[in-house]
């Protein structure tokens, strides 16, 4: 049985005065915030804990303070050398005896660290999960008195998370090797499933789980659709967004190293102090770039996801996604790097239908269990459904995280200017039927032309299809928006088809639900113009009432499904 997450404040059982004093003396903070005090109290009392606090919520002190106060050395597992270095250097400057053991530490220094640890002079010892996987290190550690074991960025243990690190999976062993040593896992990222996975993998079944609210009231979030297929226009949009925020410090996330360098260059050409950052640079170069970003006023980091975990720059005023993140968890974590000082900051995400196709394609290529792939695929879809949806952004994300009582934020683009939406179930049914009727062999342009009855090189067979020309009641852009939205919702998927993308039906269950009218589909009204058009000649007079279409496509759908089942089981060659 897993413990229920604790959200509300409950009386703290332990006297926290000593902890508060350390917080003041070492860090200069007046008091604990949020759930920190409760987490610290648990660890001080020697109990296992998992703390899910937002980025910038102050997770580090949750284990650093108990490590200072409890006898022995506190062992901290941290996924990145950069993270360890930052924390250890900061601690040393604050007068805390901290050290790190990673591949970058020489032999002499190593022996000195072990000596200090044995003699009880060390408060905190940072290690990498890879280091811990070695038997030699475990053996040496077992000679020490440990005050606690902290697992930072604990979501790295879960395949459901977005930063999975195989070496984290071995950390469950620590429960047996160090019985009686309290363990604390901290992360900013956990939907219920990831949370359960972390607890199970780390064998923290008896841990108390603290989940803080994910609200970030100082962030103003928005998302904008890209103009499809035009990289130059996306770059120009990023330049414009940054220009409007001239002099402010920000992060621009790009999906690839190439994109990252290109956007950085474009920004520099436009007079911005833009710094590219990705895993293609070696560690020293990355450090240099990070230092510049931290030190220079108005610097803009143009980065891949290689940048960010644990970067503590309080005055980042905006995070722009030139390419969307991989999931809602990643989204929240990445926009969470803005406004850590609590002052107003912005998160702006650009997204387009080719992005969802790209995200899904990338997952396809990954070696992972089918079950994991399915979950990741769903996560990509949930992200895009939020981006293209009409629900307050923080509310949508916090509900996804399990905060069912989350209210509209009042400041995001949706709250500020609620987009009118229209009931698009019928257009959705038409579009799905058209895609299906055309044999799932064509791209968006052809499907729209077919719907509008405007197919140029119309095939004789095509004009005879019951879906040809049934979409004359919507404009060209209207149809594009409907089809894009269906892609964002996973009802249609784009197959790259070697550079000539074709649209196919998506998740069969969801498609069926739309056909049946059981699944609502709402598309933003703004760009959709209903045009008063004559129904094209060829299908003139043909009555395609919704009910009729529904029954019609439903029957065809069943045929298709049967055909797919057969194809999947490879029992016979399809017609
Ligand atoms: P994260 O939860 O993202 O790991 P950190 O531990 O890096 O966050 O802390 C983020 C910032 O918040 C740090 O600058 C830290 O000193 C500061 N901080 C932590 N606790 C408090 C507090 N109780 N009051 C004020 N600032 C705090
Ligand atoms: Mg942290
Ligand atoms: Zn809102």
User: pLDDT (tens digit, 9 = 90+) per residue, 249-304?
Assistant: 999 999 999 999 999 999 999 999 999 999 999 989 999 999 999 999 999 999 99
Q: How many CA atoms lie within 13 A of 38 on its CB side?
A: 20
Q: Dihedral, CA atoms, 561, 562, 568, 570, nearest 10 degrees?
A: -160
In the DSSP assignment, the letter for residue 48 is -
Tokens of 22: 């350390």
CA distance 230 to 226: 8
For residue 151, give the ligand nearest its CA: 2
ipTM comes to 0.98
Q: How many CA atoms lie within 13 A of 301 on its CB side?
A: 32
Query: Which residues does 271 contact at the CB level (< 8 Å), separation at least 6?
Result: none
The pLDDT, as a whole number, for residue 228 is 60
CA distance 482 to 448: 10
- The closest residue, in CA terms, to atom 13 on ligand 1 is 58
Shortest-distance atom of ligand 1 to CA 152: 4
CA 533–ligand 2 middle distance (angstroms): 58
The pLDDT, as a whole number, for residue 229 is 60
The pLDDT, as a whole number, for residue 102 is 87
For residue 142, give the 3-state DSSP assignment. helix
CA distance 189 to 326: 13
Please name the residue ranges forming H helices in 405-507. Answer: 413-416, 425-437, 444-452, 460-463, 476-488
The pLDDT, as a whole number, for residue 571 is 34
CA distance 349 to 225: 8
- The closest residue, in CA terms, to atom 5 on ligand 1 is 58
Please name the residue ranges forming H helices in 336-456. Answer: 353-364, 370-387, 393-400, 413-416, 425-437, 444-452
For residue 216, give the ligand nearest its CA: 3
Under-50 pLDDT residues of the chain: 1-14, 526-575
The pLDDT, as a whole number, for residue 413 is 95
Q: Is the CB of residue 210 less than 8 Å from the CB of residue 35?
A: yes
The pLDDT, as a whole number, for residue 121 is 92
Tokens of 137: 């290190």
- The closest residue, in CA terms, to atom 19 on ligand 1 is 58
Ligand 1: residues with CB < 6 A are: 27, 29, 32-33, 36, 53, 55-61, 188, 312
CA 188–ligand 3 middle distance (angstroms): 21
Pocket test for ligand 1, best of 29, 52, 58, 96 (most atoms within 8 A of CB): 58
Task: Report DSSP letters for 167-231, one per residue.
Answer: GGGGGGGHHHHSTTS-EEEEES---HHHHHHHHHHTT-TT-EEEE-----TTEEEEEEEPPTT-H
For residue 51, give the ligand nearest its CA: 1
Q: Is the CB of residue 70 less than 8 Å from the CB of residue 148?
A: yes
The pLDDT, as a whole number, for residue 92 is 94
CA 497–ligand 1 middle distance (angstroms): 48
Report in angstroms the alpha-carbon separations of 524 from 150, 357, 398, 481, 547: 46, 21, 22, 8, 24
- The closest residue, in CA terms, to atom 20 on ligand 1 is 58
366-371-374 Cα angle (round to 5): 70
Tens digits of per-residue pLDDT, 392-402? Answer: 999 999 888 77
- The closest residue, in CA terms, to atom 27 on ligand 1 is 58
The pLDDT, as a whole number, for residue 554 is 46
Q: What residue has token string 């609210």? A: 213
């Amino acid at each position: 049985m897993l413990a229920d997450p604790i959200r509300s404040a409950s009386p703290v059982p332990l006297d926290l005065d000593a902890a508060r004093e350390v917080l003041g003396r070492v860090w200069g903070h007046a008091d604990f915030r949020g759930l920190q005090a409760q987490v610290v109290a648990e660890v001080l009392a020697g109990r296992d804990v998992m703390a899910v606090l937002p980025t910038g919520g102050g997770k580090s002190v949750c284990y650093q303070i108990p490590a200072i106060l409890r006898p022995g050395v506190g062992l901290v597992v941290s996924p990145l050398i950069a993270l360890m270095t930052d924390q250890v250097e900061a601690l040393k400057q604050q007068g805390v005896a901290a050290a790190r053991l990673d591949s970058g530490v020489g032999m002499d220094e190593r022996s000195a660290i072990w000596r200090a640890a044995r003699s009880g002079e060390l408060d905190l010892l940072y290690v990498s999960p890879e280091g811990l996987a070695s038997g030699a290190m475990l053996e040496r550690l077992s000679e020490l008195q440990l005050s606690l074991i902290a697992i930072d960025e604990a979501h790295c243990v879960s395949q459901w998370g977005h930063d999975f690190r195989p070496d984290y999976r071995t950390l469950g062993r620590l429960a047996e090797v160090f019985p009686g040593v309290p363990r604390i896992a901290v992360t900013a990222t956990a939907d219920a499933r990831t949370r359960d996975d972390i607890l199970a993998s780390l064998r923290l079944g008896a841990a108390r789980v603290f989940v803080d609210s994910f609200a970030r009231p100082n962030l103003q979030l928005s998302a904008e659709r890209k103009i499809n297929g035009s990289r130059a226009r996306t770059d120009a949009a990023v330049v414009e967004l940054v220009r409007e925020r001239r002099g402010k410090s920000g992060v621009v996330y790009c999906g690839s190293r190439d994109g990252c360098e290109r956007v950085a260059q474009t920004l520099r050409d436009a007079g911005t102090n833009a710094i590219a950052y990705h895993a293609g640079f070696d560690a020293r170069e990355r450090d240099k770039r990070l230092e510049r970003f931290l030190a220079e006023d108005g610097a803009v980091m143009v980065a891949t996801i290689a940048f960010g975990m644990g970067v503590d720059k309080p005055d980042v005023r905006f995070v722009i996604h030139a390419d969307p993140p991989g999931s809602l968890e990643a989204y929240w974590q990445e926009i969470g790097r803005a406004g850590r000082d609590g002052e107003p900051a912005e998160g702006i995400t650009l997204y387009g239908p080719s992005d969802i196709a790209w995200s899904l394609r990338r997952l396809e290529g990954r070696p992972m269990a089918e079950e994991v792939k399915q979950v990741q695929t769903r996560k990509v879809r949930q992200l895009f459904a939020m981006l293209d949806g009409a629900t307050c952004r923080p509310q949508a994300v916090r509900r996804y995280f399990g905060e069912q009582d989350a209210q509209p934020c009042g400041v995001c683009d949706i709250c500020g200017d609620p987009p009118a939406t229209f009931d698009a179930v019928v257009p959705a049914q038409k579009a799905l039927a058209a895609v299906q009727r055309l044999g799932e062999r064509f791209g968006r342009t052809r499907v729209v032309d077919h719907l509008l009855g405007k197919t140029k090189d119309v095939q004789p067979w095509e004009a005879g299809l019951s879906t040809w020309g049934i979409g004359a009641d919507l404009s060209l852009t209207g149809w594009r928006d409907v089809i894009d939205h269906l892609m964002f919702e996973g009802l249609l998927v784009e197959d790259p088809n070697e550079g000539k993308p074709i649209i196919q039906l998506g998740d069969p269950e969801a498609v069926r639900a739309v056909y049946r009218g059981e699944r609502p589909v709402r598309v933003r009204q703004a760009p959709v113009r209903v045009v008063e058009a004559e129904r094209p000649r060829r299908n003139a007079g043909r009555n395609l009432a919704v009910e009729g279409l529904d029954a019609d496509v439903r029957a065809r759908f069943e045929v298709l499904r049967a055909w797919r089942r057969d194809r999947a089981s490879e029992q016979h060659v399809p017609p």
